[in-house]
Amino acid sequence: MANFVDPKTGFCSKTMTFHSLRPPVPLPPECAPISVTDFIVYLLNSSPPSPTAVALIDVTTRRRILYPELISLVNNLAASLRTHFGLSKGDCAFVCSPNNIYTPILCLSLFSLGVVVCPANPAATIPEIYHQIRLSKPAIAFASLDSDHKIPSLKYGTVIIDSVEFESLMESRSEKKKQEGIKVNQSDVATILYSSGTTGGVKGVALTHRNWTATIAAGYSLRPVRKSPTVAFCPVPLFHVYGLAYSLRLLATGDCLVINGGGGRFDMKKIYEIVEEYGVSHVALAPPLVVTMVRDAGMMEGCDLSSLEVISCGGAHLSKSKIERLRKRLPKVQLAQAYGLTETTGRVFATMGRHESQIEGATGKLMANCEAKIVDPETAVALPPSKPGELWIRGAFVMKGYVDNEDATAATVDSEGWLRTGDLCYIDNEGFLFFVDRLKELIKYKGYQVAPAELEHLLSSHPDVVDSAVVPFPDEEAGQVPVAFVVRQSGSNIDESEIKHFVARQVSQYKRIRRVIFIDSLPKNASGKVLRKELVELSSATSKL
């Protein structure tokens, strides 16, 4: 097979498959009982950080946790959760909190017990949280004080993360060993994250310990040799696959993770101050914050950003013009873009090192332990380099499936393990991935996925709405915003503000409809499918009137 693989592109002309050009990364035998936590501890033991190395820093409280203390807190908490609540393998824990220095500790403790971690957006509405809880069926919840009221009664109740009770669970030493009688298999589910997938409403993505081990191992293998540890700031939400994967990889390499405890909105000025104060070398950002960096140059004035080496950016597409402007503003800083999905445990293509970060418009090369195909969406024929088609992914990163949704799983992952991403891309003659457009109908608002079907379902429940369709509209700050086309009931005078308010009361802030266009009828094909492309063009035309 190797004779058919192009060493420049990784493309095999015999199988029409792209293989990773990065060195293969060994993974534990699949039969070995190893949790995500076991694997991270193994990596830390194989290349021990200094006893004085800082693992976690909370910007809000200024608390610093060293690596020996981190391991101790993880073990203490795991033992306490078994002793006080009787948590056991297969239970699920719902985690609803803004970024917090304790979240990584909690996740590692739960992983070591074989408890499924289900992180959720604390900004979600009560109906959204109830839907997620119906999917994940948690036995216990861990929530911030201001999210506690959204959580229904659960078997073991709710523990407030920012409380004395949680602190005592971490600090108390238990004689009961956390791993006593526990055997966590790599095929066991480690997390349930929420995604709209390639179609439809919110689904629970089941990711296994093997999935997380593979993504951590791939990142670990590519870590550069440094004179001093990486100091990374992660303002990206830890309930998102991007933030969770980023934080776990950092801790596995013995580096320092800076977290802005308490969450909430904060501007680029605050990020610049954190970079300066803590000597941050790496920062993970969503595209909207990169856009802000480019647009509001004045915020940088007076800030010492000399420590900054790499800006990681993922979650949504970043335009070439924004990349060019960022490079002019920070010429010594690498922009490390990546492509991935919740269903692929985060990134499967990534830019590593200065050379790869200079390739204009590319989102990197295929990661180790992964294969890709570019498939013609009409004929399902696999395509060679430089030909655009739907990106398919196969490998150790691909999810186990959608929770209690075999139909959606089968529609996304085929019998040979290929995951259809729903994205139109091509891989060039150097093996770099280029994103072209979305085949799926999802709207990407500030890195979040907004499913038109969910909003259309809400609109159809309004008595004054006959028909509706939601499409994306370009927005410089957010990337895309939802625009609704609405057909009113005959004689109804419902206006735009009433429609917006009706939806806003029932969804998270990022899902809100930003504009309403009233129309006599929706354009549809013979089978009744809405012609969304025509609506996108119409929304652009009406915005210019």
pLDDT tens digits, 475-498: 888 889 999 999 998 889 999 999
3-state helix, strand, coil in the chain (%, to 5): 30, 25, 45
Q: Which range (81-85, 381-385, 391-395, 487-491) has the least confidence? A: 487-491
Task: Give me the pLDDT at residue 526, please.
Answer: 42
Q: What is the mean pLDDT of residues 332-358?
A: 92
Task: Spell out the CATH class of 2-434.
Answer: alpha beta
Q: Are 199 and 453 in contact (CB under 8 A)?
A: yes
The span from the CA of 341 to the CA of 236, in Å, is 15
Top-ranked range on mean pLDDT: pick from 239-248, 257-266, 452-461, 524-533: 239-248
Question: Each residue of 155-206: pLDDT tens digit?
Answer: 999 999 989 999 999 988 765 555 567 899 999 999 999 986 545 578 999 9
pLDDT at 525: 58
Query: Pairing relation of β-strands 231-233 and 346-350?
Result: unpaired
pLDDT surpassing 90 at residue 147? yes
How far is CA 72 from its chain centroid? 28
Q: Where are the domains of the chain?
A: 2-434, 443-543
Q: How far is CA 159 from CA 54, 306, 503, in A?
A: 27, 41, 31
Q: Identify the DSSP state of 23.
A: P
Is the CB of residue 278 less than 8 Å from the CB of residue 255? no
* Average pLDDT over all residues of the chain: 90
Residue 177 or residue 309, greater confidence:
309
82 class by beta-carbon count within 10 Å (0-12 exposed, 13-18 middle, 19+ buried): buried
- pLDDT: is 390 or 294 the higher one? 390
Quickly tell me which residue has 């420049």 as its tokens: 8
Q: pLDDT higher for 368 or 224?
A: 368
Q: Which residue has the higher pLDDT, 138 or 461?
A: 138
Between 347 and 361, name the one with better pLDDT.
347
Please determine, for residue 263, whether its predicted confidence score (pLDDT) is greater than 60: no
Residues of the chain above pLDDT 70, percent: 93
What is the pLDDT averaged over residues 220-241?
89
Angle between helices 452-460 and 496-504 (to 10 degrees): 110
- Model confidence at 139: pLDDT above 70: yes
Residue 216's φ and ψ, nearest 5 degrees, are: -70, -45
Q: Where are the beta strands (DSSP E) in 407-523?
A: 419-427, 433-438, 443-445, 448-450, 465-475, 479-488, 515-518
Phi first, then psi: give them for residue 471, nearest 5 degrees.
-130, 160
> In the predicted model, what is the mean pLDDT of residues 59-82?
95
- Between 35 and 360, where is the model more confident? 35
Mean pLDDT, range 441-469, rounded to an integer: 84
Contacts of 172 (CB under 8 A, 6+ apart): 76, 80
127-131, 236-240, 281-285, 540-544: the lowest-pLDDT one: 540-544
At 181, list the tokens.
């009688």
Q: What is the pLDDT of residue 265?
A: 60
466: confidence class by pLDDT, cuts 50, 70, 90: confident
> What is the DSSP track for 321-357?
HHHHHHHHHSTTSEEEEEEEEGGGTEEEEE--HHHHH
Question: CA–CA separation, 440 vs 198, rounded Å?
Answer: 6
Superfamily of the domain at 443-543: ANL, C-terminal domain (3.30.300.30)
Rounded distance, CA 425 to CA 392, Å? 10
pLDDT at 66: 98
For residue 442, the SS3 value is: coil
Q: What does the block give as tokens for 490? A: 């005959």
In this structure, are strands 116-120 and 92-96 parallel, antiparallel, or unpaired?
A: parallel
**Residues, the chain:** 545
> What is the residue whose two structure tokens read 């990889």?
249
Q: What span, in angstroms and rounded, lies between the C-alpha atoms of 250 and 199?
A: 32
Residue 502 tokens, joined: 């009706």
